[in-house]
Amino acid sequence: MTTVQHVIDVMERLAPRSYAESWDNVGLMVGNRKTVVKGILTTLDVTTEAIEYAVEHNCNLIVSHHPLIFKGLKQVSSDTALGRMIEMLITNQIAVYSAHTNLDIAPGGLNDMLAERLGLIDIQGFIKTGEDVLYKISTFVPEDAADAVRIAMGEAGAGRIGNYDYCSFSVNGEGRFRGNDQSHPVIGEAGTMTIVPEVQINAIVDATNFNAVLMAMKEAHPYEEVAYEVVSLAEPNGAIQYLGRIGRLPNALKMDTFREWVQEALPDANIRFCGVVPEKIQTVALCSGAGAEFIKDAARHKVDAYVTGDVKYHDAQLAKESGILVVDAGHFGTESIVAYGLREYLEASSLEVPVHAYGEQQDFFFL
């Protein structure tokens, strides 16, 4: 039985929420985590047409790239397009989960999907955004409850090291405490000094699972007041996060051939070019969606071309001044592939529910 939470867990193994930019809104937008999933629809945007498709194909979970709810809502009214969509979703009991900048950044996420579509090899990160943070959580548990607490923490995501999980380290000792008149101790009596054989359980956890592990630990812990400590580890998890990618084409191409190459790779894109055309094009930087702010960075990396979307007039001027060829393949053109990429990922994750990709969405711009 696959629940909404099971699908969320699978998505966040690919794109942890901690990767998302601070201004972003990712996660469960609408719905109940405990709902049993009958079918999944993957899409770039949650639109009225996508919801109708989900209803028609018995999909009660939509996984989108662009967040359904981006800014804070003060009201949900059928007088607005967003309000009507939320009403449709609730009426038809359809949940929505969105993975946005965390999916852009994640290894195997949207920018890697785009690099694969463009046929790039020797792919590396483009714009560094951060590093995975690790924490050590220590708690103090009566000996007979230690296994239950260890298992609860492990199930919530603690103790994952490489190809191992449920990793922890324990130290035996004595706990001492005295409760006041308002306390209700599980062991001993209020007002009396109590000495208990305890186990100190130590486990590491990443930022994505940190809150879930703390909650699971507290729920499994027998004490009325749970004692624990958290240490941020000086050594990061080792994984550096990047927005965008840099790679190279298998062969250097002339401009006319490169134009055809990009259009064939991104058939939904309305492609424009600006900047300076090099004699040959082989090294390529890319950033899906709106990445014009990184034109200078692409020029600094001395790539032959930079593929992105939402390029404005003065961005084109900057491209010329920086001496770089910029390919504006559009926000939609660089991101519409996400519906198929997410379907492929979810189908490979053994969820045992049908997964549909919404491929009928059109660019909001047309010629």
* SS3 sequence of 97-164: EECCHHHHHCCCCHHHHHHHHCCCEEEEEEEEEEECCEEEEEEEEEHHHHHHHHHHHHHCCCCCECCE
331 is in an annotated binding site: yes
The answer for 146, left when phi > 0, alpha when psi is -120 to 50, beta otherwise, is alpha
Paired residues of 232 in beta bridges: 135
Paired residues of 130 in beta bridges: 241
Domain 110-130+241-329 fold is 3.40.1390
Tell me what pLDDT residue 207 has.
77
CA-to-CA separations, 247 to 57, 120, 125, 244, in angstroms, rounded: 38, 5, 9, 10
Instruction: List b or e across 20-43, with b for residues whose CB sees 16 or more CB atoms inside 10 angstroms.
Output: beeebbbbbbbbeeebebebbbbb
- Specify the pTM: 0.77
Give the confidence band of 181 by pLDDT, cuts at 50, 70, 90.
Answer: confident
104 is in an annotated binding site: yes
pLDDT in tens, 38-54: 999 999 999 999 999 99
pLDDT in tens, 221-256: 999 999 999 998 866 555 678 999 999 999 999 999
CA-to-CA separations, 300 to 36, 115, 303, 318, in angstroms, rounded: 49, 20, 8, 13
Tell me what pLDDT residue 162 has.
76
273's tokens = 């070019």
Residues of the chain with CATH 3.40.1390.30: 4-99+335-357, 110-130+241-329
Tell me what pLDDT residue 345 has.
97
Q: How far apart are CA 253 and CA 326, in angstroms?
A: 15
Tell me what pLDDT residue 239 has.
66
CATH class of 133-233: alpha beta
Q: How far apart are CA 284 and CA 339, in angstroms?
A: 24
Residue 196 has pLDDT above 90, yes or no: yes
Give percent of the chain above pLDDT 90.
Answer: 82
181: phi then psi, degrees, rounded to nearest 5: -65, -20
Residues of the chain with CATH 3.30.70.120: 133-233
Tell me what pLDDT residue 72 has.
80
- How high does pLDDT run on average in the chain? 94
Tell me what pLDDT residue 133 has.
76
Give the confidence band of 198 by pLDDT, cuts at 50, 70, 90.
Answer: very high
- Average pLDDT for 73-79: 88
CA-to-CA separations, 302 to 284, 306, 327, 340, in angstroms, rounded: 9, 10, 15, 32
Q: How many CB atoms lie within 10 A of CB 13?
A: 14
Nearest to residue 206, comparing CAs of 5, 18, 15, 6? 18
Could you tell me if 365 and 270 are in contact, meaning their C-beta atoms sit under 8 angstroms apart? Answer: yes
- Average pLDDT for 292-312: 97
Tell me what pLDDT residue 108 has.
96
Tell me what pLDDT residue 354 has.
97
Tell me what pLDDT residue 235 has.
61
- Average pLDDT for 12-19: 89
- Average pLDDT for 177-188: 90
Nearest to residue 146, comparing CAs of 97, 196, 190? 196
pLDDT in tens, 118-175: 999 999 999 998 776 789 999 999 999 999 999 999 999 899 887 889 999 999 999 9
CATH class of 4-99+335-357: alpha beta
Give percent of the chain above pLDDT 70.
Answer: 98
Q: How far apart are CA 234 and CA 237, in angstroms?
A: 10
Q: How far apart are CA 278 and CA 348, in angstroms?
A: 40
200's tokens = 């100190």
